[in-house]
Amino acid sequence: MSLTVKNISVIYTPINETNTFTSGDFISGQVLLDVVKDTQMQSLSVKIKGKAQVSWSEHYGKTTVVYSDKEKYYSMERFFVLENKTNGNDHELLKDPSGQPYSSVVAPGQHVYPFTFQLPLQHFPPTFKCAIGKIAYTLETKLSRSMRVSSKAKAEFHYVSSHVVSSPELMVPQYGSKEKKMKLFPSGNVSMNISTEKMGYYLGEGLKVLTEVQNNSSRAIKPKYCLYEKHSFFAKGRRKIHKHDLVKEEGETIEPNSKNKVTKVLSIPPSLTISILNCKVINVEYRLRVYLDVPFASDPEIKFPVVVLPLQSVPGAKSATNSDFGVWNQPSGGNVNPSPLHVPPSAPPGQFGASGYYGPPLSPAPAFPGPLDQFAPPSYVGPPGQFGPSVSHQSDSSDPPPYQEYQLYPQLPGHPKKS
């Protein structure tokens, strides 16, 4: 920060208890500028934008290759002050609460510039962050002065999608079967039939797994269950994958030459990030893995896709990610439905990332000229694909193909084909 500009910041007003925003919501806030002497501004602006980006490096001997990519969703900038316009009326100036233009010269002290944006009506991926990628929605302010380095500040806000995939395929049962023959020790064979009631589950819902196991081997075996998350990152034709086990359960031991049927219910953790399948560079997916723990032999297994949906009907519900590989906590739930299109009532504006910090009372904000639809790319949420009535068993070492039997969104332009 320069000697003239003591502080510049941007703050916004929460509209609900979970401090989340969704499509069509209005977000109001203030740019706060504190200067120590008379200051001539060339421009002062506030911008709202959303984008996803990834970046990681891989080493090939002595060579290091950086893979990076990004996907922009929208970007809209408004000016409080703008001198020397070069593009006619392309840049619309905001006015003060009395309807007058802001002065380009400010006296010593703190100055408040209120604003209001409306979020685009399209549906975008929710806020997400990890070590090599993020989906972020931000408010940014920039102060430009002649012969000076620009002063900038930003605040991130949590975005949650109000769109729930209503495809009936998500409610179709899934089936799988697997048989394994043991050649030496143990001898005999084992088989299992696995089914689930559906593919789509809401946060906190129970995932019921029906298991039928026939143990014709010489050893006792035990069915095991694992719900895990799979994060995929895409850049320059490459894919990087992170996996992390979330829930692990065991069934009862099945003795040799016996048959057993059991129902197991796994709870979908309410703190998970919802499935992200409409982003070009980041995917968040979930899998159910059911396998038999066979002593002294490879374990036969079946995998099913699981789509985690946002919880919308329970007030105050929250969604966050507590992954071991660094996913940022993300609240959601409760109030994620689109709010009526009106400016929300005043509330103490909070500074993202600085708990307990509040600025001066929010001044009446100028009306936003309109939604940002015209500035946002078309939504990637397309018609649901074909899931198929069942998912057959998979090989022991691979996941089910994420965009074949249960495609939720169409193939995106430039998206590496998944295998």
Sequence-distant (≥ 6) Cβ neighbours of residue 30 within 8 angstroms: 10, 11, 112, 113, 114, 115, 349, 359, 360, 362, 363
Instruction: Determine the Cα–Cα distance for residues 286 and 164; give it in Å rounded to an integer.
Output: 17
Same domain, 205 and 241: yes
Q: Is 399 a member of any domain? A: no
Domain with residue 224: its CATH number is 2.60.40.640
Q: Is 410 a member of any domain? A: no
Same domain, 153 and 218: no
Q: Is 323 a member of any domain? A: no
- What is the total count of domains within the chain? 2
- Residue reference for tokens 């984008």: 51
Q: Write out pLDDT tens, residues 75-129.
A: 999 999 998 765 545 567 899 999 999 999 999 999 999 999 999 999 899 999 9
Closest-CA residue to 213 (of 183, 243, 247, 256): 256
Q: Is 418 a member of any domain? A: no
What pLDDT does 389 receive? 35
Same domain, 83 and 192: no
Same domain, 186 and 147: no
Same domain, 194 and 174: yes
What pLDDT does 184 receive? 64
Residue 167: both structure tokens together: 């495809």
Q: Is 387 a member of any domain? A: no
- DSSP strand E in 61-187: where? 63-82, 105-106, 109-118, 128-129, 133-144, 151-156, 158-159, 174-182
Q: Write out pLDDT tens, residues 194-232.
A: 999 999 999 889 999 999 999 998 888 889 999 999 999
Instruction: Determine the Cα–Cα distance for residues 13 and 136; give it in Å rounded to an integer.
Output: 18
Burial of 1: CB neighbours in 10 Å, binned 0-12, 13-18, 19+:
exposed
Same domain, 146 and 190: no
- Whether residue 329 contacts residue 160, with contact meaning beta carbons closer than 8 Å, is answered with no
Domain boundary among 266, 293, 309: 309
Same domain, 159 and 174: no
Instruction: Give the predicted TM-score (pTM) of the model.
Output: 0.70
Closest-CA residue to 371 (of 19, 18, 23): 23
Angle at 266 between CA 264 and CA 270, to 5 degrees: 165
Same domain, 58 and 202: no
Q: Is 347 a member of any domain? A: yes
Instruction: Enumerate the β-bridge partners of residue 57.
Output: 66
Q: What is the mean pLDDT of each run of 10 residues along the chain (419 residues)?
A: 87 94 95 95 96 96 96 96 68 87 95 96 93 97 93 96 74 92 77 94 92 90 94 96 94 90 91 92 96 82 92 42 28 30 32 30 36 34 34 39 35 41
Q: Is 388 a member of any domain? A: no
Same domain, 230 and 295: yes
Same domain, 97 and 216: no
- What is the dihedral sign for C-alpha 176, 182, 186, 187? positive
Determine the structural domain holding residue 81 and report its residue range: 5-163+336-375
